[in-house]
Amino acid sequence: MKTEIIHAASPEAQQHAAKVLRAGGLVAFPTDTVYGLAALPWDTQAVERLYEAKERPSERAIPLLLSDAEHLPRVAAIPPLCRDSVSRLIGRYWPGALTLVLLKTEAVPEVVSRGATVAVRVPALALARSLIRAAGGVLAVTSANISGQPSPVTAEEVESQLDGRIELIINGGPCPGGVPSTIVDCTSAPPTVLRRGAISPAELETVLGAVNTTQ
């Protein structure tokens, strides 16, 4: 397979990416943090190919990126004890570099998340949200790298790792953030920081009052 590269400024870039995704292909594109690699979450074979392309262990769930917060009820449920915390976090950090771990709905395939939870985020980069919207509002997206290798912040870095493994790279220039999102588990109170990233635990505490950390 030869990986196609198309510039984000091309008039047909987003619709072409959506067409590739609907056909079961894998597409890499920039987000506000790092370049992500996407598949349609409802396409089991495409998600399995995403794992293979990245050499990602199958027990590691794939996060879902949403074009807009209105899609959240499709894929995730908020535990009653955490509704206030989740509302505050979404109001402050979405769109943005905050991934929330919530209870998954029946719509989320096992291949995306084999447990009871799902990780969700609305990226701050307008290009990313527009592409996700063109593909239906929800995509399974993880960093566009070989597992264990550095997360890419340019299309060239994606190509160096995944050329020949995926169908399409959308070249949108360097990612503005360059740091992975912070992951917060909101299935228990107080929420727990599972991965430190662009938003520090100290900053989260100014919004929530208290957070647990695992590191």
pLDDT value of position 89: 97
What's the mean pLDDT in 101-108? Answer: 98
pLDDT digits (tens, 9 = 90+) for 43-70: 999 999 999 999 999 899 999 999 999 9
In the structure encoding, which two tokens stand for residue 61, read together?
């769930």
What's the mean pLDDT in 12-28? Answer: 97
pLDDT digits (tens, 9 = 90+) for 139-182: 999 999 999 999 999 999 999 999 999 999 999 999 998 889 99
Mean pLDDT (the chain, rounded): 96
Q: Which pLDDT band holds residue 5 (cuts at 50, 70, 90)?
A: very high
| pTM of structure | 0.95
- The CA-atom distances, in angstroms, between 171 and each of 28, 131, 156 are 9, 13, 8
pLDDT digits (tens, 9 = 90+) for 177-207: 888 999 999 999 999 999 999 999 999 999 9
Q: Where are the beta strands (DSSP E) in the chain?
A: 4-7, 27-30, 35-39, 64-66, 76-77, 98-104, 117-121, 138-143, 168-171, 182-185, 192-195, 212-213
What's the mean pLDDT in 99-103? Answer: 98
pLDDT value of position 178: 85
**In the chain, which residue ranges form alpha helices assigned H by DSSP?**
13-22, 44-54, 72-75, 83-93, 126-134, 155-162, 201-208
pLDDT value of position 1: 87
Q: Which pLDDT band holds residue 31 (cuts at 50, 70, 90)?
A: very high
pLDDT value of position 215: 61
pLDDT value of position 214: 80
